[in-house]
Structure formats: C-alpha cells, structure tokens
Amino acid sequence: MVTACPECESPVDAPDTAPGGLRLSELVECPGCRSELEVIALTPVTLALAPDPEEDWGE
C-alpha cells in the first residue's frame, strides 16, 4: 500500500505483505524526508508523524 508522507508528501510504501503484515503503531520511515511515521489506521492505511522522543524514553 503506497500512501503519502504527511510531512513531505513523498510516496511511502507501507506494505501489508511484510512479515507479520502491517500493524497499528508500527513505525515506517519516509524515504523522502526520513521522517519517522506511525501507522495510525489500517483501512485505509494512514500515517502520521511519530511522536518526538520524550525525556523518559529509552531502554
């Protein structure tokens, strides 16, 4: 499934044929602007900019 990057509108391939299929909350990188995108809906596939890292994020 090809959809548009919400940041730069480049086409982003979010393949639901990838191993395990496409999932909600999955992260995808825009090949155009390298933005980190999050899958926020599956039908149709909708991408949003992933949240910026917060202070308490980590391993």
Partner 1 sequence: MTAELAVLTSRLRGDDKRILVALERRGLPVCHVDPRRLALASTSVTPWSLVLNREISASRARHAAHTLEAAGATVLNCAAATDVCADKWLTTLALRRDGVPTPRTTLALTPEAALDELDRFGYPAVVKPLTGSWGRQVSLLREPDAARAVLEHRAALPNPEAHLIYLQEYVEKPGRDIRVVVLGGRAVAAAYRVSADWRCNVALGAQTVACPIGPELAKVAIAAAGAVGAELAGVDLVEGDGGELLVLEVNHNVELAGAQQAAGDSVDLAGSIAALVADRYEGGAR
Q: Is 7 in the site for partner 1 (CB under 8 A)?
A: no
Identify which of residues 11 and 21 has a Cβ nearer to partner 1 in the complex. 21
Q: Is 50 in the site for partner 1 (CB under 8 A)?
A: yes
**Cβ contacts of 26 within 8 Å, gap of 6 or more:** 38, 39
Identify which of residues 9 and 18 has a Cβ nearer to partner 1 in the complex. 18
Identify which of residues 17 and 25 has a Cβ nearer to partner 1 in the complex. 25
Q: Indicate the burial class of 53 (C-beta count within 10 angstroms; 0-12, 13-18, 19 or more).
A: exposed
